[in-house]
Amino acid sequence: MRFASPVKGPQGLAWDGASMWVTSAANGRVYALEPGSWTIRREFVPPFEALGITYTGADFRVILAPAIEEQDLELDHRYVYSFSPDAGFAESFVCPDNSGSFLAHANGTLYLSQAWDKKLIELDERGAAVREVQLDRRPVGMTIVDGAFYLVTVDEEWDDGRFQRLGIGDAAASIETLRALPFKPRSVAFDGRRFWTADRNGHALVSFTLPRVASRQG
């Protein structure tokens, strides 16, 4: 199903059990959306532009990127911040190699994707890389369900969107394509029943189910 997003340029998605959290590529802000009506509950202005976001069970982790005038990898330094509606934003650590796009969290462990370098990285509590998985395609969103990454990926030209699955401990060669996506996807969230991704350019949120992923809460 496809829903018009009240947030322009929806980019990062996270589900906390009550709200869908969305970051905006249009203005770099973070929003909490009312599911069903898809209206904005709350809006937050981070110190830098927000990219990927994930819910840890207690608060959020979000990648923030200081704005730069043009694409310059020497200046494009990205950071992981903690965030909660009550406490706001606090810097946690610099992304490995200053690079990061999206986040996922499971069992106390944080994972980061690097779209340009086509990597999934397991992080320790200080943000250092513990394990890296090199992919053939650019990972532009991920979540973790039942011990597996569910990813949206694109090709070298940032096209040919695919929804894919990879076990957390598996080698990249075992990645499985579950469905094609006829738009340029960004991010993945799971609300306990449905997967969600963002059509950033089309200003829409898209949901779908997979028969073999059991319905559950969380």
Mean pLDDT of 42-68: 94
Domain boundary assignment for the chain: 2-208
Question: Residue 159 above 50 pLDDT?
Answer: yes
Over 90: is that where the pLDDT of 151 sits? yes
pLDDT band of 126, cuts 50, 70, 90: very high
State the Cα–Cα distance between residues 191 and 207, nearest whole angstrom: 10
Our separate counts of H helices and E strands in the chain read 0, 20
Cα 29 to Cα 25, 68, 95, 125, 180, distances in angstroms = 8, 16, 19, 25, 29
Taking the C-alpha atoms of residue 146 and residue 110, their distance in angstroms, rounded to an integer, is: 15
What is the pLDDT of the chain when averaged over all its residues?
A: 93
On the question of pLDDT at 11 being above 70, the answer is yes
Distance separating alpha carbons of residues 30 and 46, to the nearest angstrom: 7
Confidence of residue 75 (pLDDT cuts 50, 70, 90): low
pLDDT at 192 over 50: yes
Residue 120 has pLDDT above 50, yes or no: yes
Q: Band of the pLDDT at 66, cuts 50, 70, 90?
A: confident
In the predicted structure, residue 13 carries a pLDDT above the cut 80: yes
- Write out pLDDT tens, residues 91-117: 999 999 999 999 999 999 999 999 999
43: Cβ contacts below 8 Å, ≥ 6 apart: 29, 30, 31, 32
Q: What would be the CATH architecture of the domain defined by 2-208?
A: 6 Propeller (2.120)
pLDDT confidence bin for 73, thresholds 50/70/90: low
